[in-house]
Amino acid sequence: MTEMVYGVIPQRDGDPILPRWWRTVDRWSISCVLALFGLGILLGLAASPPLAERNGLEHFHYVERQLLFGAVGLVTLFATTMMSPTMVRRLGVIGFAFAFVAVIMLPVLGTDFGKGAVRWYSLGFASLQPSEFLKPGFVIVAAWLMAASHELNGPPGRSISLALLIIIVAFLVMQPDYGQTALIAFAWGVMYFLAGAPITILVSLVGLVVLGMTFAYNNSEHVARRIDGFLNPEVDPTTQLGYATNAIREGGFFGVGVGEGQVKWSLPDAHTDFIIAVAAEEYGLVLVLLIIALYATIVIRSFMRLIQERDTFIRLAGAGLASIFGVQALINMGVAVRLLPAKGMTLPFVSYGGSSLIAGGIALGMLLAFTRTRPQGRMQDVFNQRH
């Protein structure tokens, strides 16, 4: 006798794909994703025209591109949610292989677009940031390896995943891209912890991270400048953090009004890294709290469903994907309010960015595919089999 997780849902032979998908997918999380994308377009209408004007482009050039990339990302998301866990794993492994090769080739074929970090490929009509696609792929591969290590006579999956993480971190630091490095390392740490890693190993890894940050601070002028700026009690009002801090302060509880904000004329990254400052200034704390609630709903509902999942691979991969999604949003908003050092990182599904929107669609589509309800035995049965 089997039961569906989170309640009994009948599943009939020959059931059409769409009705079965609709009954089993987490509709609350999908609604939150659509709401975030809608808010991103709304904020883009305010934040991107000044940049388009400075670059001599049409008024809503970046909004139109965000709609295009967002549509591709949402189609990708919905298509991925309909896949079985086995298909998602295959997609993740193949995607990781391509993204890993692309990251390796960045020093040769990549460009920095004048930003000092070689993170992108110029495609002419758009740019591609392979590290965005590397994140979900690595989570899938690492979860697969860790799950395999739990099998009888299985490979040393946790050790292999650690070696793979070190290689990836080395290539990302070479760009340099400390933000994506932190996200990938954090997701791996969450999965490693859930896979039953000894606490001594986790503490040792935290020590290595601290040493790595110290090395970066002492050997990178760029990193040192950002950390010093974060630790400095006085904020330079002519910097991006200064503009963002002032905008959040001016917005207050209800904002200064739609279209009345001024920070979008000063911040070059108002439509990407500091989009939350535009939201806070024009719509106030009310909209910021709504955005936080939407992210929290997706992450919390995902973990609630994954807690009851018996498949080790699904549980680990889902936890890694949910961690990346939530922590990326946390870092983006934390930087804007000076809770964290400045770090270029988009706000998922809200900020402008083709690679971010499409890769985000893939990652969250994988997460929603893992959290769909499926027939499986009772959790107690699993514990009984171990005795």
What would the two tokens of residue 42 be?
């709304």
Q: What angle do CA 54, 60, 63 make, to 5 degrees?
A: 110
pTM: 0.88
Residue 176: cis peptide before it, omega within 30 degrees of 0: yes
Counting Cα atoms < 13 Å in the Cβ hemisphere of 328 gives 31
What are the boundaries of each domain within the chain?
A: 35-376
Classify residue 32 by its DSSP letter.
H
Tell me whether residue 160 is exposed, middle or buried, using C-beta atoms within 10 angstroms of its C-beta: 0 to 12, 13 to 18, 19 or more.
middle
Look at residue 6 in the predicted model and tell me its pLDDT: 42
State the Cα–Cα distance between residues 195 and 316, nearest whole angstrom.
7
Look at residue 237 in the predicted model and tell me its pLDDT: 67
Contact between residue 328 and residue 181 where contact means Cβ atoms under 8 Å apart: no
Contact between residue 36 and residue 26 where contact means Cβ atoms under 8 Å apart: no
Give the model confidence (pLDDT) of 87-144 as tens digits.
999 999 999 999 999 999 998 898 887 777 788 898 887 889 999 999 999 999 999 9
Q: Can you say how many angstroms the Cα of residue 149 is from the centroid of all Cα atoms in its chain?
A: 26
Give the model confidence (pLDDT) of 356-382 as tens digits.
999 999 999 999 999 998 765 444 444
Neighbours of 303 (CB within 10 A): 15
Torsion sign (Cα): 43, 296, 327, 303: negative
The C-alpha R_g of the chain, in whole angstroms, comes to: 22
**DSSP string covering 351-371:** S--HHHHHHHHHHHHHHHHHT
State the Cα–Cα distance between residues 333 and 86, nearest whole angstrom.
34
What would the two tokens of residue 282 be?
């024009």
The residue ranges of the chain whose pLDDT is under 50 are 1-11, 13, 377-383, 385-387
